[in-house]
Structure 1
């Protein structure tokens, strides 16, 4: 089976040789304009706002019981928005692991945008840049940014998990996602990101009120299926950036300096994204968990879409290629 072509990325000026252990060269912040400062402020709100869920959760649990409606809504919204990221933003739009029918592509984009992880074009551009410069200068969120010493790795872990969001190191969409910029529907979806975030919280609130009939029911649904769900999904996604480059197994060869690992405890919560070592060895593969017992709900969803005729040209793993990649 032939591989899908990865999206073309414009070449960048040559960088000094990297030895794999030194801190990355310092670069001047790229975001200096008033508009960029608003962007950083919006990022702060997106990241900090769900943390309120922790405080609110303590208040709700104090003398109260978490209701079954809250649990069901939280799981449903977590699955829908999580698969929007993993199936839609990641395996479809970033790596072109399959071709989706227009309606499915739009629905996945909407679901992913409701996860509070940034607009679709910015998300894809950042992730493609990560693959172009994995764990070496140019990677926007490598945990080895500050070197491989104990102190440097601790700083790098914080940077890879959440600090990179505030570094002002943008990934230009015209370089890393020109295909999405050229698509009118994707540009419209990116512009709709703020509205979709509001909808992502308004829907649990409205459904909780409709089912329970009280403001308390609406607020608990907003808390668990809105804020807590958003916070959990964000940190699971960011853990793939951070933990899945520092902890775990590396059964497959990757490019030089690429330290992506498989981290099984995150497999279910990340919908299979934490089989990160295989993903970096075969980025366009539609399945990341390729060995026995490796749960990959994202691949299962893609398989379902394929059987329904909504996904075609799926790049499933080739055992011979995988055997050639094993260490």
Structure 2
């Protein structure tokens, strides 16, 4: 039976029904996987994952006799918001799901910000996430926590896989299939090629800002630690928690596709800028607002609303009551 995804009425892809029963481990060889340059990818991924975590060990040394300064906090907060919104408003809601159309300059700015999150180049990120929606929690999903089955041992192993383990498998997603629109965009191709330089920039900026504010190399290094490495590590793990925890823990007030177990997890809402209202997102992927019920804070939607009022974003797909109610359980 074919496993090619088909088009949905909302423009997203979805995998057709198959023999998967929702409980068995996924087949080890998946038809959508392409493996290339595995050793290079393994080295790069290891650096991306481990380098920020080294900051946690260094943090103990820095705090030994010295409390983190206000400048470190301010620089870290500013860059966390900038790069985080680059992922949520730029990579995710804008480029992946086309929840709104950004003006060209805003589109590139959000792409730069998302690239500085240290989570991969823009085309690869979008392709992987579209594949996740095509095969959510079924064989073909690159980071489902149910990859190893629904038993306790399988779920524990799957949780680790969905959070970070999938990055080490060398399972590449073909951009020509999942992101042909970005491959056809000269600006996005240039942004993708610039990813290594933007990774350097995401650490160079806090280093330079710390030196400029504090005036000493020590101030520059502590800013690099807190506003560079620690900030990147926190944002990475918040993003990965949406992949892992938000498919295993939380509420499911909206109906999703068969086997799709996306949940809402409120403790992550602020840190993820509203991305952890994940159940609604999977029920209505192109909606620009994920937190649609009362009390569900969604900072990304607020920023998109601001862009719309400024004339920088058009064709915004805001929630429609009839569409929401048709998906509510």
TM over 0.5: yes
Question: Structure 2: 5+ residue runs without aligned partners?
Answer: 1-7
| CA deviation string 1:143-165 (max 9, x = no partner) | 00000000000000000000000
Secondary structure of the equivalent of 1:258?
Answer: coil
Aligned match of 2:142 = 140
Aligned match of 2:210 = 208
Pairing of 1:174-185 with structure 2 (within 5 A): 174-185=176-187
Shift in Å at residue 249 of structure 1?
0.1
TM-score by length of 1: 0.95
Distance 1:202 1:27 in 2: 40
Aligned match of 2:271 = 269
Shift in Å at residue 40 of structure 1?
2.1
Aligned residues: 321
Question: Structure 1: 5+ residue runs without aligned partners?
Answer: none
Change (3 A) 1:149 1:61: same
Aligned match of 1:167 = 169
Aligned match of 1:6 = 11
Distance 1:244 1:19 in 2: 21
Distance 2:54 2:27 in 1: 36
Q: Which runs of 4+ in 1 moved over 3 A?
A: 28-33
Aligned match of 1:96 = 98
Shift in Å at residue 320 of structure 1?
1.2
Instruction: State the superposition RMSD in angstroms.
Output: 1.7
Change (3 A) 1:192 1:315: same
Residues 160 and 238 in structure 1, CA contact (< 8 A), matched pair in contact too: yes
Matched, 1:42 2:13: no
Pairing of 1:186-265 with structure 2 (within 5 A): 186-265=188-267
Change (3 A) 1:6 1:141: same
Aligned match of 1:156 = 158
Aligned match of 1:310 = 312
TM-score by length of 2: 0.94
1:131 equivalent among 133, 156, 165? 133
Distance 2:302 2:314 in 1: 14
Residues 206 and 223 in structure 2, CA contact (< 8 A), matched pair in contact too: yes
